[in-house]
Amino acid sequence: MAEGNATFTDDNVILFLHGATSPSICDFDLSYQDYSWADWLVNQGYVVYMGDYRNYGGSTREAAMDDPPAKNQPLTRSYLALRDVEAMVDAIKTKRGIRRVTLIGWSWGAMIAGYYASLHSENVRKLVLYAPLYNFNDHTNLGPGSSLQNKRKPREFNFSLGAYRLASEAANTGRWNGEIPVENKDEYRDPALPAEFWNACLATDPTSNSRSPPSLRAPNGVLEDSFYQATGRPLWNAANIYAPTLIIGGTFDTWSYQEDREGLMRDLIHAPTKKNVLITDATHFVLFEKKRFEFFDQVLRFLRQ
């Protein structure tokens, strides 16, 4: 928040919820040039909190995170991350003397934000679902035919993936590159950004440099639950959300398809207001791309309505 700020209201307090792999600091407060979305919102007058679910970032890690992945079942299932969000919201409300908090979730964080709002809309001032997975059952990365599927029992998750995975810069940048539909990826982003982002993520895992190449431990509970979500077994229903909701994402996102967002718009029957915004020529990582200020402005416009 701005230095000296003493104003806390239902309309100016935001909680960011991160996605499947990287924690909140590198997602929302990247200390490279002007890429901190948190700083940008503070400059617009908001008070910003960032939450890490268990086994991510600055939060406590279970002992199983230090075991070989194959020794345990997927960690940080969505129902447990939901409990962490409940604790975050309750702590913010108590500390700041407010009744409701605005939630902004990215990727899996959007799914968790929607899940939370479907149970606790009374605590949510506004809801921003950035790149949400919802109920499109032909996800190429998450559903049938993906690595998440047990090939012998196609309706089951591939539990051989274990408790967590080791995420590298090469894998993350490769995924990002795969969504950018032009040969020269610099048309979409600063060429230094992938390394800057991943170095910030690696710094949140004290074991990252003990492996070669350095890698980030990321729990697999998200993958199990996202597989179910992408194969017709949703964890929550947007019809139970009673908060104003913005759905937003990029044209070329392969985690959140337009069909996901259209499904949300269809099911958001109790949201007082709802809006679906598509950022053209953008990917899942639009907050780090050249279109980011168009994206930020769309979110700000919704927050100020």
pLDDT digits (tens, 9 = 90+) for 24-35: 999 999 999 999
The predicted pLDDT at position 141 comes to: 86
Contact at 8 Å (CB) between 66 and 73?
no
In tens, the pLDDT along 206-218 reads 999 999 999 999 9
The number of CA neighbours under 13 Å toward the Cβ of 103 is 36
Look at residues 211, 199, 223 and name the one whose alpha carbon lies nearest to residue 166.
Answer: 211
Mean pLDDT of the chain: 96
User: What's the CATH code of the domain at 76?
Assistant: 3.40.50.1820
Looking at the domain assignment, is residue 1 inside a domain? no
The predicted pLDDT at position 207 comes to: 97
Inform me whether the pLDDT recorded for 14 exceeds 90. Answer: yes
Per the structure, the complete domain to which residue 241 belongs is given by 13-303
The predicted pLDDT at position 157 comes to: 95
In tens, the pLDDT along 104-127 reads 999 999 999 999 999 999 999 999
In tens, the pLDDT along 283-299 reads 999 999 999 999 999 99
At residue 181 the predicted structure's pLDDT band, cuts being 50, 70 and 90, is very high
Looking at the domain assignment, is residue 5 inside a domain? no
Looking at the domain assignment, is residue 296 inside a domain? yes
In tens, the pLDDT along 126-177 reads 999 999 999 888 888 898 889 999 999 999 999 999 999 999 999 999 999 9
Looking at the domain assignment, is residue 258 inside a domain? yes
Q: Into how many domains does the chain fold?
A: 1
- How far apart are the C-alpha atoms of 219 and 203, rounded to whole Å? 17
